[in-house]
């Protein structure tokens, strides 16, 4: 049985005051970590303050990106070692917005995955296809390619502990979600790819999220599917009540 993992991805939203107020509002209301992993994916700027607020509670934190070196002359980047030192548990990598607007390659994402794991954190590895690829019926091939390239040289044990998020680009922030059957089918492709690369026990263990216009009203439909173990939620994670409602629906 895989434990559900619901991660909010705030993207580039909120001020520090708003972020801390959100954490104060949710920290004692979230379900037990025994039932569900509840994760806030915050801009790096707020992580230190957020950790102070949620310390000792079951709220977990994620960065939305990091660099693949721990230190050095990399102006403007965030060190995975420094993020880990804050007590942050996860880092989102390979989000389609990073791939598209910041030109991140599969190779960069692979290096980041290794650096995150080396620092004791868990990557939330995103994959997903464009509308063009979806309409051409090439989603499975595309997803298999992204996963195969992104996981190069990772061990079976490392992959079994990872979280993989399937996010069709055409469903992100559009209000147009992939229906639960499609999400299950493509999350199944993710699992089958992991099985092909690492074997059945790793595929059975790896947790796979669906992301793309998930809301409190539709999350249960996704979570009822065999291959969907959680959700990566953008817009609907920004409001404290909405975030709590997402968690309530799955616990
Ligand atoms: O990382 C989250 C996804 O990009 C989904 O965003 P959304 O829930 O606003 O569609």
Distance CA 39, CA 232 (A): 9
Report yes or no for ipTM above 0.90.
Answer: yes
pLDDT at 187: 98
The response to whether residue 214 sits with its C-beta less than 6 Å from ligand 1 reads: yes
pLDDT at 177: 75
pLDDT at 174: 82
11 is in an annotated binding site: yes
Helices H / strands E in the chain, number of each: 12, 8
Q: What separation in Å is there between the alpha carbon of 71 and the centre of ligand 1?
A: 30
The residues carrying an active-site annotation are 95, 167
Sign of the dihedral defined by the CA atoms of residues 163, 49, 246, 242, in that order:
negative
41 is in an annotated binding site: no
Q: What separation in Å is there between the alpha carbon of 146 and the centre of ligand 1?
A: 19
Name the residue among 141, 128, 122, 136 with its Cα closest to residue 96: 128
pLDDT tens for the chain, 251 residues: list them.
899 999 999 999 999 999 999 999 999 999 999 999 999 999 999 999 999 999 999 999 999 999 999 999 999 999 999 999 999 999 999 999 999 999 999 999 999 999 999 999 999 999 999 999 999 999 999 999 999 999 999 999 999 999 999 999 988 888 777 899 999 999 999 999 999 999 999 999 999 999 999 999 999 999 999 999 999 999 999 999 999 999 999 98
Q: Give the position of tokens 């979806």.
A: 134
The response to whether residue 173 sits with its C-beta less than 6 Å from ligand 1 reads: yes
Name the residue among 103, 32, 119 with its Cα closest to residue 70: 119
160 is in an annotated binding site: no
pLDDT at 251: 80
pLDDT at 172: 85
SS3 84: helix
pLDDT tens digit sequence for 73-128:
999 999 999 999 999 999 999 999 999 999 999 999 999 999 999 999 999 999 99
Distance CA 222, CA 141 (A): 22
Question: Pocket of ligand 1, candidates 91, 168, 214, 238: which has the most ligand atoms within 8 Å of its Cβ, to mutate?
Answer: 214
The response to whether residue 233 sits with its C-beta less than 6 Å from ligand 1 reads: yes
Residue 169's contacts (CB-CB under 8 Å, 6 or more residues apart) are 96, 100, 128, 129, 130, 131
Q: Which CATH architecture has domain 5-250?
A: Alpha-Beta Barrel (3.20)
The response to whether residue 235 sits with its C-beta less than 6 Å from ligand 1 reads: yes
């Amino acid at each position: 049985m895989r434990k559900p993992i619901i991660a909010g991805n705030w993207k580039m939203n909120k001020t520090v005051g708003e972020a801390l107020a959100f954490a104060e509002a949710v920290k004692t209301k979230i379900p037990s970590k025994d039932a569900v992993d509840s994760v806030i994916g915050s801009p790096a700027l707020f992580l230190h303050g957020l950790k102070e607020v949620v310390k000792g509670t079951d709220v977990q934190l994620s960065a939305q990106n990091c660099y693949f070196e721990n230190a050095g002359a990399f102006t403007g980047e965030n060190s995975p070692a420094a993020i880990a030192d804050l007590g942050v548990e996860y880092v989102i990598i390979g989000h389609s917005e990073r791939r598209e607007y910041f030109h991140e390659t599969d190779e960069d994402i692979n290096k980041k995955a290794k650096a995150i794991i080396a620092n004791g954190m868990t990557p939330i590895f995103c994959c997903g296809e464009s509308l063009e690829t979806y309409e051409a019926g090439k989603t499975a091939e595309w997803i298999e390619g992204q996963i195969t390239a992104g996981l190069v040289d990772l061990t079976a044990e490392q992959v079994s502990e990872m979280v993989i998020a399937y996010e069709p680009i055409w469903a992100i922030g559009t209000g147009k979600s992939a229906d639960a059957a499609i999400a299950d089918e493509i999350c199944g492709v993710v699992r089958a790819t992991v099985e092909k690369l690492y074997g059945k026990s790793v595929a059975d263990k790896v947790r796979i999220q669906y992301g793309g216009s998930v809301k409190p009203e539709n999350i249960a439909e996704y979570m009822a599917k065999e291959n969907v173990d959680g959700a990566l939620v953008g817009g609907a994670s920004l409001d404290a009540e909405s975030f709590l409602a997402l968690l309530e629906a799955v616990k």
